[in-house]
Structure 1
Amino acid sequence: MTHSVRIRMRRWHRSAGALAAIGVLLLVVTGMLLNHAPSLGLDQRPVRADWVLDRYGIQIAAPMGYFVAPFWISVSGGQLYVDANAAGTLDRLRGAVTLEGMIFAGGGDALVVLDGAGHRIDQLDRASLPGAIDAIAASADRVLIETGELWHASDSSLLAWTPSAAPDAVTGARPLPVSLARAVVADARSRQLNWERVLLDLHSGRLLGAWGPWVVDVFALLFALLAVSGFWLWLRSRHRPRA
C-alpha cells in the first residue's frame, strides 16, 4: 500500500475515532448508571421533566374530584390524591364522604379509608364489598354504597353490608380548582415514568424514536471498523522497514 493511502487511512481512523467517542461515552455512562440503578433509586425516581414526558407522549387529563372539607379527593393516573398528595393506588373514584372524622373514598372494587388528616389507614377490596362501587354516600352513622341499582349500608366496623334505601342526595364529582388540578396532573404524570426506563431507552437508542436503534447499530459498526483499521495500522507499522 502506498504512503498516501496509509496517510488517508490514519486520518480516517482519527476522525472516526473522534465520532465514535461520543457513542462510547454515551454507552459507558448509561451502562454504569443502569448497573447501579437499584442502589441509586432510579427505578423509583419519577421523571418530572416535561420535555421527557412529552417525548414519551404521556398525557393525563385533568381529573374530577369530590370536596370533603377541608380536602379535595381525586384519582389521576391510578393514584388516589388528597389535595395534591398521593395516598396510594386506586383505579376509579365514584365518590367520597366524611363520617365521624374519617374519609371514605372508592370506586369499582375498592373502598379506601382515610383518617381526618387524609392519611390512608385501610382498604376494603371486592371480597369485603357487596359489589362494584358505583356511588358513595353517608347517612347517620353508616356508609352507603351503590352497586348496580341497589344501595347497601355498612355496619359500624365495615364488616357487613345490608340492603338500604337510597340516600336523599348523592354528591357528584366536580372539576378541581385549576391550580390543584395542575399539581395533581403533574405528579400523576411523573409517576408514569422513572429514570431507569429513560436510561434503558437512551442506552438502546429507542429514546430517539424509530431510527434510534439504527443509530446505535451504526456506532457499533463504526467500533468494529475502528478495531479492524487500528489492528491493520498496527500490523503495518510492525512490518515497516526501520530507518
Structure 2
Amino acid sequence: MGLRKPTRQWRRWHRWLGLLVAVPVLILSVTGVLLNHIDAFGWSNSPLPPMLARWYGAPVPVNLQGRQINGQWYAQTNERLFIGERDAFYCQSPFRGATSPRDLIIVGCGDELLLLNEAGQAIERVGSAFGVPAFSELGTIDGKLALKTPDGLVRFDVDHLISERVDPQSQWQPSTLVPLPSALANQIRSQSVPPSLNWQRLLLDLHAGRVLGFAGQLLMDLAALMLSILAVTGTVIWARSRR
C-alpha cells in the first residue's frame, strides 16, 4: 500500500505536464517529420504565399497598378519593371506610367525615362543628365511624348534630348495607371517574394519557435525539456506499476 500514493502523485504530474506541452510537442513532431521529408515533397525552395511573406515583413505589394500598351501590361513593384509577368528591368520608384509615341515604348521610372522597342527590349535610359526635366506624369500630345512638370506641360524629344513648352490647352493624354487583372497581379506578387522566404524557412522557424520571437524559442525549449521529464515520469510509473 505504501507505493500506491507516490505512484498516484507521479501519474497526476505526468498527466498535467502532458496537457501543458501537448500543442508545442505536436508542432515539434509535425514540423520535424515535414522537415525530414521536405526534399521529397519538393517544398525546400518553394516560395511562401505572398500573405505569409508579408507577415515576415517582405515588401510584397497588395495593390498593383499598371498601364496596358498594345495588349501588354507594364507595371512596377520593388524597383522592378514587369512586362506582363516578366521581371524585365530596374525601375526606380515612383512608377510614372508608360506611353507609346511612334514606335517606342517609354516608361517613367522616378525621374528617368526608360526607352524600349516594341519587343520590350531596352534601348536607352535617360534622366536629368540628358536634359529630362523633373516630371510627375508622362503622356502624349499630338502623338508625341509629353511630360507634366512643376512649370506645366512640356514636349520632350527623346531623339534630340530637348524639351519645349506646349499650350496648356493642347490635347494632353496622360498615362493613367489602372488596377492589373487579378491573375497577372497574383503572378507578379508571387515573383516579389524573396527566395529566402520559402517553406523550409517557415517550417524551421515553427520547429524552433522563432515565429513568436524569443518567447517562442523559450516555449519550444521548455516543451523539449518537459518531454524529457515526461519520459522519466512515464518510466517511473511503469516501473512502480510492475511491483
Unaligned stretches of 5+ residues in structure 2:
none
Letter in 2 for 1:96: A
Which fold has the larger relative contact order, with Cα–Cα distance below 8 Å and residues 6 or more apart in sequence? 2
Q: Deviations over 1:55-90 (max 9, x none)?
A: 679762352x43422323333565433345443453
Query: Secondary structure of the equivalent of 2:163?
Result: strand
Q: 2:106 aligns with which of 93, 104, 107?
A: 104
Map 1:8-87; keep pairs closer than 5 Å.
9=10, 16=18, 19=22, 21-26=25-30, 28=32, 40-42=44-46, 45=47, 47=49, 52=52, 60-63=62-65, 65-76=66-77, 78-87=79-88
Unaligned stretches of 5+ residues in structure 1:
none
Contact 1:103 1:115 in 2 (8 A): yes
Map 1:124-203; keep pairs closer than 5 Å.
124=126, 130-137=132-139, 143-149=145-151, 151=154, 153-156=156-159, 161-166=161-166, 168=170, 169-176=172-179, 180-190=180-190, 191-192=192-193, 194-195=197-198, 198-199=202-203, 201-203=205-207
Contact 1:76 1:185 in 2 (8 A): no
The structure-2 alpha-carbon separation of the partners of 1:61 and 1:155, relative to structure 1 and needing over 3 Å to count, comes to closer
The TM-score normalised by the length of structure 1 is: 0.60
Letter in 2 for 1:202: L
Alignment length (residue pairs): 223
The TM-score normalised by the length of structure 2 is: 0.60
Runs of 4 or more above 6 Å deviation: 30-34, 53-59, 139-142, 232-238
Q: Distance in 2 between matches of 1:229 and 1:199?
A: 25
Q: Deviations over 1:129-152 (max 9, x none)?
A: 634432234579975544432636
Query: Secondary structure of the equivalent of 2:95?
Result: coil
Q: Distance in 2 between matches of 1:140 and 1:30?
A: 61
The structure-2 alpha-carbon separation of the partners of 1:198 and 1:92, relative to structure 1 and needing over 3 Å to count, comes to farther
Moved more, 71-80 or 6-15: 6-15
Question: How far 1:237 sits from its partner (Å)?
Answer: 9.9
Query: Secondary structure of the equivalent of 2:88?
Result: strand
Contact 1:145 1:152 in 2 (8 A): yes
Sequence identity of aligned pairs in percent? 19
